[in-house]
Chain A
Amino acid sequence: MNSAHLFSFLTLLPILILGLIPAHRISLLRPVALWFSIFPFFLALLSLFPVGNSVSGWFSLSLFSWIPLFNLSHLFGIDGVSLSFILLSTFLIPICFLASWESIRYRFRSFAILLFFTEFCLINVFSTLDLLLFYIFFEAVAIPMFIIIGMWGSRLRRIGAAFRFLLYTLLGSLLMLIGLVYLYFMVGTFSLPALLSVEFPDSVQSFLWLSFFCSFAVKIPMVPFHVWLPEAHVEAPTAGSVLLAGILLKLGGYGLFRFSLTLFPSASLRFAPILFLMAVFAIIYSSLSTLVQVDLKKAVAYSSVAHMNYSVLGLFSDSVEGVAGALLLMISHGLVSSGLFLCVGFLYDRYGSRLLRYYGGLASVMPVYSSVFLLLTFANLSLPGTLPFVSEFLVLVGIFSINTLVGAGALFGVVLGAAYSLWLYGRLCFGPVSSNFKYFGDLNRRELSILLPLVSLTILFGVKAEPLLLLFNQPSFVLVLCLALNWTLFSLYPSSFSYYLCLYCYYLAWVWKKQTSPLLL
């Protein structure tokens, strides 16, 4: 038990405290919830400090045994990737509170408790190295989101959307559970470091990879499994959409990175072509469907499907640039799409509609809103100077290094992305001022202060992405190295510097063999 464990259980404390405050005192509940949600973010920032002097890429590994008989242990490990996702989730929770400051009045206390429970699950899901615990928290995240969509959604359709969300997630992850059970039956442990030292036979790898993929593909979502996503986004309240797009979609990519690729390297390489096909199809399909959407939220939702499928391309591109780019893309999408959902939510708070055809000419009546929305739109179409550009560029570099055709498809998706983003923006903000609304109000201070950090971070990291890339360098490098040498990834857990040096020598040899120069090292 050390600080990492304490950190992971920390968000249970505000749940207790909020439970003690009477439910009708909303004016007291709001600031308490906000301040308690800001606190974990700074704690997560503090844990950035060991990054610089950690050689292995892993810091704060710690363990306490949970059920020793079954080899179940609560193993925590945070590397750059998990830490950046933890930072993202702890960053978005206060934003969710601020965004629902006015709009959520109905049972605010339950709402706050559910958000904190979500945060608790997210921190744990990103920091645990035990597969069963990962599964438990992966599944547990769906429950508060289900209730948030069902209770605070706007229309009657919210119930169907919540059901669809929960059942898709459950079906996918129960198939993963079968894989987990089989894994446990074969190896006898759920701990990732131990599993990494096991080399599975090929047929077993394929079976396990597919069963894991079922649950991750629902979360990403890949195209045949994406049906729940637009509905859930449209029906959820703004905070729910932000959480869903900002973090929950990343669980799939994170799972692929952390478990599928590392545990089953040869199956990952074997299934990569099918995955490329699915991802390119998803990119083009969802970009085209974004073009025809009449609902603002649905448009943003479909565009996030496209972006998440870019990250799948990068993850399986078998190159350091691609993997690091994919991870970066997930972070940047977490910032940009939450910003877009917030913008749509602010419009909905004002005018009570998300339908595109009621709007028009917002640029002349809501100038601040339109400029912030413009920056976010630029980021969404990955204009140079914004963070998504860096990440998509890296993904494209990675994907072009192994398959030109897939790269071309992905590039076509980029063009389509520019088309739908600009078209959406044009219809919303330009043209004649809509006659449907009599009163217009620009962003108030609260709303601006929510959006500004998102926009400024997007541009700041877009100009200088190095601090973020520093976090992803080492994990993606080790991953790709081990994929290339077809190693079991025992090497992910070296504890001594000399061992790592040895790895680096292997890496240099591999680079020499492939005659490619790595961008990031």
Chain B
Amino acid sequence: MSIAFSRLRSTPTSLWESGFNFSFIGSIFLFILLVSTASFLLLFHHFYSRDASFTYEFPLFILFATFGYSLVIGCSSFITLYLSLELSAFCLYILAAMRRTSIFSTEAGLKYFLLGALASSFLLLGISLLYGLGGSVRFEDWSILIRHWGDLPETGLFWLALLLIGVGLLTKLSVAPFHFWVPDVYDGAPAGVVAYFSSIAKIAPLASVAQLLYGPFFPLFPLFSSYLLAFGLLSVLVGTLGALKQQRIKRLLAYSGIAHSGYMLLGVAVGHQLGLISALLYISIYVLLSIDFFASVFSLVSYSGRKLRNVDNLLAVSRTSPFSSFFLASNLFSFAGVPPFAGFFPKFLILVSLVIQSYYISAISLVIISVLATVYYIRLVRVIYFDRPMLWAFYRPPAQSTNFVSSASFFGNLLLLPLFSVFSLFFFAYV
């Protein structure tokens, strides 16, 4: 081990030399990131066009955050990983506190800043420990180093460093034991920002977890995978149970987002090619779905100017704006993973990959939890369609452009996404 260390130290490399390197999987993540950001901006620029506090900074910070995330996807050393994560994280802190006049928004921004800074400091501490141990922060060096260890490294600091890095990244991904900031931040932040948090902001952390797992730390994969699977299952469970009783839409979405990150983590950590494919598929479908979900919720603004906050506000929406509620319902079924909708396929593939790796118990418990998850998605469908209101509720009909985008995304939900999935699978098989 010491020989390997000394060899590495004897060839000094600059910190920034080959700091970025887009792998094949990374380029797919990047594709998903850019496409979803474009569709996000198209949608929400329209919604915020009349809002004074969102005029200039909103698209700017969104674009900066996306820029940071694309760097995260492409980074090839720990330092660039940290820096680009911080770039986008700062944008997100500002975005969360965007609505300056609202106490809740400021509170959300502050909470997010504190907890995000804590996670980042964990990440940075882990990275500095690694640098102290190996003398390098480049992924390439670490993959060589770990491969040449032969046996497990006996130093406890190494494991501490890995733990810290894992905590940092999983907090960004909002996976279960590190999820406590999620509902509070989502609840306070403006809805358009929450749409960004819950969808696009998850792509890059997932990508970096995947790249670390399958890149430098691949020889240690068998050690990690069981812990990561446990985290994934736990967050599916926590997300589902937490969402069951929620009355506020954003909190509900926060918990369901935790559950979905759990699924994605399962796909990445299961250690099979199919699992990785299904995680990619999962995140691409999930991102588009949640953007569409928020767009549909956004298009329902009542005449009194009140936004939709509680689940009860959705009452009788199906009568006043049938199209938006139809898209909402189809999105909800898709979130739940009921077959004809796009959400079914990635969940199914994750199940297949779990069974292939013979994690039978996890597969069965996942299935049973997913029935529970259906309950709270369908509760929304019930409020939209089944419950009849005591009082008349009035909602403005959504603008033409919203309808257009939502219907496009609905057809994407039903038709294009299966096609896209087929296409991406081909891509994986033959490239």
Contacts and interface: CB of A to CB of B under 8 A. Distances in A.
B374 interface: yes
Contacts of B421: 67
Contacts of A135: 339
Contacts of A163: 375, 378, 382
A397 to B, nearest CB: 39
A181 B386 contact: no
Interface residues of A, number: 34
A159 B387 contact: yes
Given A140-B340, A171-B371, 8 more contacts: A137-B339, A139-B339, A140-B338, A143-B340, A147-B385, A167-B374, A170-B374, A184-B352
Interface string A117-137: 000010000000000000111
Interface string B331-366: 001000011100010001001100110000001100
Contact of A151 (B352, B364, B385): B385
Interface string A158-174: 11001100110011001
B426 interface: yes
Residue among A135, A147, A171, A178 having the largest count of chain B Cβ atoms under 10 Å:
A178
B280 to A, nearest CB: 14
A143 B371 contact: no
B422 interface: yes
Contacts of B370: 174
B352 A167 contact: no
A142 B340 CA distance: 11
B425 interface: yes
A139 B338 contact: yes
Given A136-B339, A158-B386, A67 B425 contact: yes
A175 interface: yes
A171 B375 CA distance: 11
A163 B378 CA distance: 8
A177 B367 contact: yes
Interface string B375-419: 100100110011100000000000000000000000000000000
A69 B339 contact: no
Nearest to B429: A69
B309 to A, nearest CB: 23
Contacts of B378: 146, 163, 166
A174 B340 contact: no
Given A159-B387, A181-B348, A181-B351, A167 B425 contact: no
Interface of B: 322, 333, 338-340, 344, 348, 351-352, 355-356, 363-364, 367-368, 370-371, 374-375, 378, 381-382, 385-387, 421-422, 425-426, 429
A73 to B, nearest CB: 12
Given A159-B382, A167-B375, A174 B367 contact: yes
A437 interface: no
25 contacts: A67-B421, A67-B422, A110-B322, A135-B339, A136-B344, A137-B339, A140-B339, A143-B333, A143-B338, A150-B382, A150-B385, A150-B386, A151-B385, A158-B386, A159-B386, A163-B382, A167-B374, A167-B375, A171-B371, A174-B367, A174-B370, A174-B371, A175-B367, A178-B351, A178-B363
A166 B197 CA distance: 31
A185 interface: yes
A331 to B, nearest CB: 27
Contacts of A151: 385-386
Contacts of B368: 171, 174
Given A147-B385, A166-B378, A181 B340 contact: no
Contacts of B338: 139-140, 142-143, 170
Contacts of A170: 338, 371, 374
Interface in A383-430: none
A504 interface: no
Interface in A1-55: 23
Contacts of B322: 23, 110
6 smallest A-B Cβ distances: which pairs? Answer: A150-B386, A136-B339, A139-B339, A140-B340, A174-B367, A181-B355
B340 A69 contact: no
